[in-house]
Amino acid sequence: MPLLHTPSPSLTPSSMSELKQLHSLTIRHGLSSDNDAMGRLIKFCSLSPSGNFGYALQLFKSLPHPDPFIYNTIIGGYVHHHFPHQALLFYSLQMLSDSVPPNQFTLPSLIRACCLANSVPLGNQLHAHVFKLGFAAHVYSQNNLIHMYASFRCLEDARKVFHTMPVQNAVTWASLITGYSEWGLIDDAFHVFETMPKKERNSDTWNAMITAYIQNNRFQEAFVLFQRMQSENVALNKYAAASMLAACTGLGTLEQGEWMHRHIIKSGVGLDSKLVTAVINMYCKCGCLNKALQVFNRLTHRGISTWNCMIGGLAMHGQGEPAIELFKAMETEGMIPDYITFINVLSACANSGLVNEGLYYFNYMKEVHGIDPTMEHFGCMVDLLGKAGLLEEAMKLLKEMPMSPDASVLGAISGACKIHGNTDLGEIIGKELIQLDSKNSGRYISLANLYASAGKWEQVGNVRKLMNDLGVKKVAGFSVIEMNGIVNEFVSGGTRHPQCDEIYAKVDEMLELIKPIGYMPASDVVLHDINKKEKEISLAYHSEKLAIAYGLLKTKPGDTLRISKNLRVCRDCHHACKLISLVFERDIVLRDRNRFHHFSKGECSCKDYW
């Protein structure tokens, strides 16, 4: 066999066992000191998921004169394996000490190391190196500096780098847009987007701005910008497609989600595993479980994230037993579950009251798959036991946790205390929650609700005063319903909708029609110490009732109304929805903060267990 001075691509290893064979081959052919041949092996060990970084370091030490490419690979390996300080020390104590000159690819990796280390001083030093070593005009290094300063929230420094660059490309603009959006400065991000030259706008910069809106829950603006993107004939890529599916998911807009699914197929964007999972997730969270299952069942190959998404979708729709059956099918097909799988399985049990099954899979996770329960798993179990009224068992499990319970776990106990009327325990947990999560208005409202249900109005007032003193604002409840591609948003007692008078008249009509078959306003859910009539008026115009009334005006018997609410549906609205579905012959799919409720013919899919 002739000597191989440059290994061919066919000799690129796919596993460590193959790499060791190639290493033996290079030694046999006298190439153990050849940077080109050894560099390929070091790169695989450093950066491949199936590599071995320790082996890469051994290979590096065996080379008499490694070149900048190999030094860069080792630095990249340290960063890839989340050892940022070691990467920076390797650069200063080895590369510079060995008088190996860094090139244009060295500093970007080091800048990323500073981001991981969250070290502003080290970042400033590297910025100085960029100038000192003559890379100030190199756009790749400068783009990484913008990202670094943005991650430190040094946005003024990011702007300075941006404005001193001789040339800016689409990545530069996208980095600055993303930097602003990560800190919630969406209007500043949009200003950057608007000021950039049109010739620099590509699908990546459009997607950066659309993603900024979505990550900050400004879904309507994301839709408007996407429509503008379409009007300017910008090609759709899979990242923008995934972002828009997330926007549809966030708003619960099935019609727009279906259009997006069709548009993805029509535009030729490849439905890879991540994108098809986003489609399934969209259908699940827009209340169309059947379509999610159709997409899932048509797949010839399903990755772990796709299985997890579908099991999670069944869980949030209260389909506990089908979720468990799907989990069993997953194992039958040889897919090994991960910790997310069991969060979804346990959540499915909690949402359906499957106590024995939940206890079984909580133990199964550890005993069969060796997965130690995380905070999320304990949270599911506490929720499961609490909802079932097993408060003593829930508290016992909470005390046995190997970590201190977070707000979500304590919140599950608090909710169970409210459901089962345990005011004493609920008060203790509620006060702990406020100390733990003092900026979250929901924690105060939960405690006030608990007091209100027990008629302790003085304590309700004290909680409200505490909120005011600390400047904690209550999150406004709202509901949305999509009709003919248009999203209509309602707030309790709101009067901004152009058909406001008709909607309120419809609310009055539907409440009158459901009274003869058992509707009585649940005035005890109203927090305020007001008379019964005032409480009934307050209940009548909750945001979901306004959305339903609008839906009734726009649909005919047999149609389905799909509504999303940002808060938990109250007991009064839940009871009303059941009766409205019967009297007006509409199925109502209501997504609240925690789960889905499917109302049909006077019944709810949750069986009043939520």
112 belongs to a structural domain: no
Q: What is the pLDDT of residue 583?
A: 96
518 belongs to a structural domain: yes
pLDDT 10s digits, 96-131: 888 888 888 888 888 889 888 888 888 888 888 777
579 belongs to a structural domain: yes
89 belongs to a structural domain: no
Do 463 and 491 reside in the same domain of the chain?
no
Q: Return the residue matching tokens 């800016």.
A: 168
Contact 581, 588 (CB under 8 A): yes
423 belongs to a structural domain: yes
Q: Where is average pLDDT lowest: 6-10, 66-70, 258-262, 267-271?
A: 6-10
CA distances from 534 to 393, 456, 475, 496, 540 (A): 40, 19, 22, 22, 10
Do 495 and 541 reside in the same domain of the chain?
yes
Do 493 and 450 reside in the same domain of the chain?
no
Q: What is the pLDDT of residue 1?
A: 37
Last residue within a domain, chosen from 475, 507, 533: 475
Do 502 and 455 reside in the same domain of the chain?
no
Do 492 and 595 reside in the same domain of the chain?
yes
566 belongs to a structural domain: yes
Residue 416 CB burial class (10 angstroms; 0-12, 13-18, ≥19)? buried
Last residue within a domain, chosen from 422, 454, 475: 475
Number of domains the chain contains: 2
Of the chain, the end-to-end C-alpha distance in Å amounts to 71
Average pLDDT over residues 442-463: 86
Average pLDDT over residues 277-292: 93
Query: Backbone dihedral region of 165: left (phi > 0), alpha (psi from -120 to 50 degrees) or beta?
Result: beta
What's the whole-model pTM score? 0.76
CA distances from 312 to 275, 356, 409 (A): 17, 19, 19
Do 455 and 531 reside in the same domain of the chain?
no
Last residue within a domain, chosen from 451, 475, 499: 475
Host domain of residue 568: 487-604
The C-alpha atoms of residue 511 and residue 521 are separated, in whole angstroms, by 9
Do 436 and 468 reside in the same domain of the chain?
yes
Do 530 and 576 reside in the same domain of the chain?
yes
Do 549 and 520 reside in the same domain of the chain?
yes
- Greater confidence (269 vs 512) lies with 512
Do 565 and 469 reside in the same domain of the chain?
no
Average pLDDT over residues 277-291: 93
Q: Where does 165-303 have alpha helices with state H?
A: 170-182, 186-195, 203-215, 219-231, 238-251, 254-267, 273-285, 289-298
Q: What is the pLDDT of residue 3?
A: 40
253 belongs to a structural domain: no
Do 468 and 503 reside in the same domain of the chain?
no
575 belongs to a structural domain: yes
The overall average pLDDT reported for the chain is 88
The first and second tokens of residue 587, run together, are 């199925």
Say whether pLDDT at 135 is over 90. no
- The enclosing domain of 404 has a CATH number of 1.25.40
Do 513 and 600 reside in the same domain of the chain?
yes
